[in-house]
Structure 1
């Protein structure tokens, strides 16, 4: 009787192996479980500018790297808040009501809105392009995540930027920075600039704004007080980069960017970040969560590699020569 029972179990398990591996998940080379589930992902970015666009494209690429591809096993809905906090909140609430499997917020306001609306519904939130997640109240500490949220920080390499400005402008004394007073990332970055600037012989002249319409007037004032401008990744200011560059170029004051796209658009140089890589890192982190890793156990990560970018035409137009040694940093 016992032999017959064992034989029956063997038949059942053999049959089961054909379908489930006798209890084990069937996975492909990427480790994604083979099933019919299509994960619904919501992505919202706060503003429409190239660096955040790069984050979004990188996020999709990072998911694909880990086996999650649109049209196969994920559906991605992307919505832009057009730099309006009320719209960011509305988008987050819509994602929460739709019961997304995971959401991603690109830039602080969008990430904060998602966390407020989605975390309580147990929808995992991945943030991207947040300079100071702790100050933005999106992380408990650098090593401890808050429940339901984690992501990637784009903390700027401020010291590398100061070194670069000193190399290109050996006689400069004052650096101007315009920032949004309500953006936590910008406030914390200004503090770091002020802390490090004296080491390199600089004084920081900062001007706070509350909305984009204030930028032209503030530029008129700050350009009379500084030797150059260093632009942050402040969403409001970056959205008006054309105005900043137009006024600075007219005054023959160089503007240094904080990433490649700003330099492409006319800034002289930057010691900044690669926002495509930033997005890829966030996408790969999101894939871990979709594969079953508990989000609360994943502390946020920071992209640490500095990317140097130069615009020699912009420099030449201002009478600035960048040495071959400095240009070599881009390689």
Structure 2
């Protein structure tokens, strides 16, 4: 159920002195002015103020934030973190962005499309980064991916090829699947973009995509139940409202032995069968490295290309397969490039 967001309470900053949150999993570390996007070399002993606007809390987005902060820590930056959780409520996106715009942040981070869009609209005089955004061009966060200019840059969490590969896997390895259900909040632009890519890919195999629309996470279980008997598999995108309710989907698909596919690794670790993806901690870490470039190394946001996922791999959960009535073949396992890390047993 969507939580009430009281401006006087939930907009209160959660201040975390010195970015912490785990190590960097062996990843190396990389890197305000008179006009938007301008930067200066850091002062000795300076503590930076970082403002974060996150649409909701769920494993992928939380891991993105943790990776971002870990990159700052690994680079030796001392930071104060103003963390704002919008609780998935559209009324709060603008309020949070306005608060950040009028505050003393040295850099702002938006996690997810809607919160990032609000920051881009409101924050004009300080660097803005985005993460966990599907299509930054369509949402007009930046005018171009290469050296976008201005005070905004970041990283997309979507490579369309990952969706196509997963749909091709379903068609080839589960030939009995003729209809795939998708639970979707069409108020999330990222979900619509990914759904369209999946639909096009499935149609090439003669497979129908059946939509079960929702408005908030409390609708997820009913939407999942509505697909029982109508579809042969279920798929969810990087749809924050739906991912927040993934436990309800798992309950339905396991009881009814329906194969369940997701667009993110965290949901597979939780109990979906398969995805083509990456670790969101790594995604956030990459954006954190961009923040280091801006704060520590004096780069302007507009000089930094928008990044997209490149290290994609199939991720299979064998326990989930058993719970959903899937027989995992050696041919399925052969899709995984790094079985030690990406076959979950």
Secondary structure of the structure 2 residue equivalent to 1:129: strand
Greater shift in the superposed pair: 178-187 or 303-312? 303-312
User: Once the two structures are superposed, what CA deviation does each residue of 1:110-168 show, in whole Å capped at 9, x if it has no partner?
Assistant: 1112222222xx11110000011112221213335263211100114111211332354
Question: Using the alignment, how far apart are the partners of 1:315 and 1:303 within structure 2?
Answer: 26
Q: Which runs of structure 2 are paired with 1:265-304 in the superposition (5 Å)? A: 265-290=270-295, 291-304=297-310
- Does the 8 A contact of 1:154 with 1:273 survive in 2? no
Question: Using the alignment, how far apart are the partners of 2:177 and 2:281 within structure 1?
Answer: 32
Secondary structure of the structure 1 residue equivalent to 2:114: helix
Aligned residue number for residue 84 of structure 2? 79
Secondary structure of the structure 2 residue equivalent to 1:90: helix
1:202 aligns with 2:211: no
1:323 aligns with 2:329: yes
- Does the 8 A contact of 1:136 with 1:185 survive in 2? no
User: Which of 152, 165, 169 is 1:164 aligned to?
Assistant: 169
Q: TM-score w.r.t. structure 1 length? A: 0.83
Aligned length: 297
Question: Using the alignment, how far apart are the partners of 2:261 and 2:268 within structure 1?
Answer: 8
Aligned residue number for residue 317 of structure 2? 311
**Long gaps (5+) in structure 1:** 1-28
- Point out the structure with max Rg over C-alpha: 1
Greater shift in the superposed pair: 33-42 or 52-61? 33-42
TM-fit CA distance, 1:84? 1.6
Aligned residue number for residue 186 of structure 2? 181
4+ runs deviating over 4 angstroms:
29-34
User: Which of 49, 54, 59 is 1:45 aligned to?
Assistant: 54
TM-fit CA distance, 1:220? 2.6
Q: RMSD over aligned Cα, in angstroms? A: 2.1
**Long gaps (5+) in structure 2:** 1-28, 32-40, 340-345
Structure having the larger proportion of residues in helix: 1
Aligned residue number for residue 151 of structure 1? 154
TM-fit CA distance, 1:107? 0.7
Question: Using the alignment, how far apart are the partners of 2:230 and 2:143 within structure 1?
Answer: 39
Question: Using the alignment, how far apart are the partners of 1:146 and 1:137 within structure 2?
Answer: 13
- Does the 8 A contact of 1:212 with 1:237 survive in 2? yes
User: Once the two structures are superposed, what CA deviation does each residue of 1:219-271 show, in whole Å capped at 9, x if it has no partner?
Assistant: 23223321101111100000111111112222221111222210121111211
Q: TM-score w.r.t. structure 2 length? A: 0.80
Q: Which runs of structure 2 are paired with 1:1-331 in the superposition (5 Å)? A: 33=42, 35-65=44-74, 67-69=75-77, 73-119=78-124, 122-143=125-146, 145=148, 147-156=150-159, 157-290=162-295, 291-328=297-334, 329=336, 330-331=338-339
Secondary structure of the structure 2 residue equivalent to 1:142: coil
Secondary structure of the structure 2 residue equivalent to 1:301: coil
Greater shift in the superposed pair: 84-93 or 221-230? 84-93
